[in-house]
Every structure is written in structure tokens, then in C-alpha cells.
Amino acid sequence: MTTLKAAFEGKKALITYITAGDPDLETTGYLLRLLDREGVDILEVGIPFSDPLADGPVIQQAGQRALAGGATLKKILGMLAGLRGAISAPIALMGYMNPIIAYGPEKFAADAADAGAAGVIIPDLPFHQSEPLASLLREKGIDLILMVTPNTTPERLGDIAARASGFLYCVSRLGVTGDARTGEAPLKDYIGRVRARTSLPLALGFGVNGPEKARLAACVADGVVVGSALVSLLHPCGADRTRLVAAASGFVRSLREAVDGACAI
């Protein structure tokens, strides 16, 4: 398995998100292997939570389905541990603090390492309170990936960038109908402000729902995150592997082509 840093070397990184346990953990494992084969550079794996404040309705519903099906943090980490050696792309866990606190931060860091996690994203963990968990993860060789938004102040951006590792997740306004900030120039300005504060790779996500927006995002950032669009596409397939292959492969290949063909920064 490669590192997060290596995933950005020599190319624009394609990052996909799926919710672990939707529709079940066996299918999640199959999907991760499939996405890896199709050339995804980083596999973001969502840990379902009952109150996911940073997630839109598509991922909220996926999380509810996963929880109803019995997915737990322990089971998810166990599933991922069983994939070690079967996939080459690094895994970034995305979850919330409540399940981690309930699990135990030290145990979480240890078990995440055993599961092969290269990074962890926790949207509801304030950056100025992140060091205790970041230290535990760092001891296990895991990056704590922090997030910024277009309205993050310069001072706050500098503080976040100083604490981040792996890559910086740049939340975008892409895809919001009628929002003047969705054009290429505002995105370029936004990413330029972030890039001036850090040497970490920058991944742009939230609202990247197809090849054209992936191309636009890859023109300005070092990587592109696609989540809700993929989760929505896969949901009707259930656990039917023939349908999953047909749906996922074509979509990921179109994203890969768009990201690889994007303009240079």
C-alpha cells in the first residue's frame, strides 16, 4: 500500500468516498478492491454515524443504511484489516469524534494502523483541539487530514496548515446552483490562497459530481474527491456485483480520464 504523499506524486490524485457497511461490509470490501483496480489513488472510507454534520443527504442516508445493517467501527476496522495486501491505494478513514471517543482514541489509533489506514479525516474535530488524537495517530504512522473552506480566514488557514499532514482537504462550493463562486477563476483564487500557506498536496471535494467538475477541480488542485455522486450511483445496485462493476467502472474511468487530462496548475 502506498502512502498518501506518494498518491499525489507525478499526477493529479483521484480520491473516492464510499460509506462502509452500505449495503454491507462484504460488499464494501469488494467495492474497495474494485475501485483500487480501476485506478483510484486514495480510498476514502466513511465510518457511519447517527449525526454526520458535514454530510449531505445522500451520505447521511448511506450511513443510516449501514448502521441499520449492523456496521460498527470495530467491524469496519476488522474488514479493512482483512484487505491488507489486497489493495495498493492508501485508505483514509472519514468519521466523527463520538464513535472514536466511545471506541477509545488509543485503541482506535492502534486498530486503524492494523487496518492499514494511512490517514483519518474528522470534520467535527476542531483543529486547535486535534493534537492529542493527532499525536496518537502520528505514533502509528497515520496522518490527520484537516479541512479548510473558501471562507477560512488567512490566520486560521495558517494555523490549520501548520497542524495538517498527508494532504489538506479543501471544501469547495462546486455544484451549488447559482453560486458565483463555482467558476474556474474563484476556485483558482481559493486554491491559490491555500497553496500560499502550505506545501502539502491540496485535494478539492464537496460537489464534484462528474467528469467535467472533476476536470475543473483538477485544473487548480492536486487531487479531486468524489463522494455523494458515487454513493448515489452505487445505491440502486445493492450487493449485485455485476451491477456494481457496470456502474462503478464506467464512472471511475470517466473521472480518471478527466483528472488525468486536466490542465496543469
Determine the structural domain holding residue 195 and report its residue range.
4-260
Q: What percent of the chain has pLDDT over 90?
A: 87
Local confidence band at 56 (pLDDT 50, 70, 90 cut-offs): confident
Per-residue model confidence as pLDDT tens digits over 182-201: 444 588 899 999 999 999 99
Higher pLDDT, residue 16 or 186? 16
55 is catalytic: yes
Say what the pLDDT of residue 175 is. 34
Does the pLDDT at position 174 exceed 70? Answer: no
Single out the residue of 7, 222, 23 nearest to residue 119, CA to CA: 7
Task: Return d(Cα 157, Cα 147) in angstroms, integer.
Answer: 9
Mean pLDDT of 59-69: 96
Helix, strand counts (H, E) of the chain:
12, 9
Check: CB of residue 207 under 8 Å from CB of residue 174.
Answer: yes
Selected catalytic residue, list 36, 38, 41, 55: 55
The answer to the question of residue 265 being in a domain is: no
Per-residue model confidence as pLDDT tens digits over 133-159: 999 999 999 999 999 999 899 999 999
Does the pLDDT at position 263 exceed 90? Answer: no
The answer to the question of residue 51 being in a domain is: yes
Say what the pLDDT of residue 205 is. 94
Say what the pLDDT of residue 53 is. 76
Does the pLDDT at position 54 exceed 60? Answer: yes
Does the pLDDT at position 77 exceed 50? Answer: yes
The answer to the question of residue 238 being in a domain is: yes
Task: Return d(Cα 250, Cα 12) in angstroms, integer.
Answer: 19
Selected catalytic residue, list 44, 111, 143, 222: 44
The answer to the question of residue 41 being in a domain is: yes
Does the pLDDT at position 161 exceed 80? Answer: yes
Check: CB of residue 83 under 8 Å from CB of residue 32.
Answer: yes
Does the pLDDT at position 72 exceed 60? Answer: yes
* 140, amino acid identity: K
The answer to the question of residue 205 being in a domain is: yes
Say what the pLDDT of residue 250 is. 95
Whether the model pTM is above 0.85 = yes
Q: What is the mean pLDDT of the chain?
A: 92
The answer to the question of residue 122 being in a domain is: yes
Domain count along the chain: 1
44 is catalytic: yes
CATH code where residue 73 lies: 3.20.20.70
Say what the pLDDT of residue 10 is. 92
Per-residue model confidence as pLDDT tens digits over 79-110: 999 999 999 999 999 999 999 999 999 999 99
Check: CB of residue 59 under 8 Å from CB of residue 52.
Answer: yes
Does the pLDDT at position 177 exceed 70? Answer: no
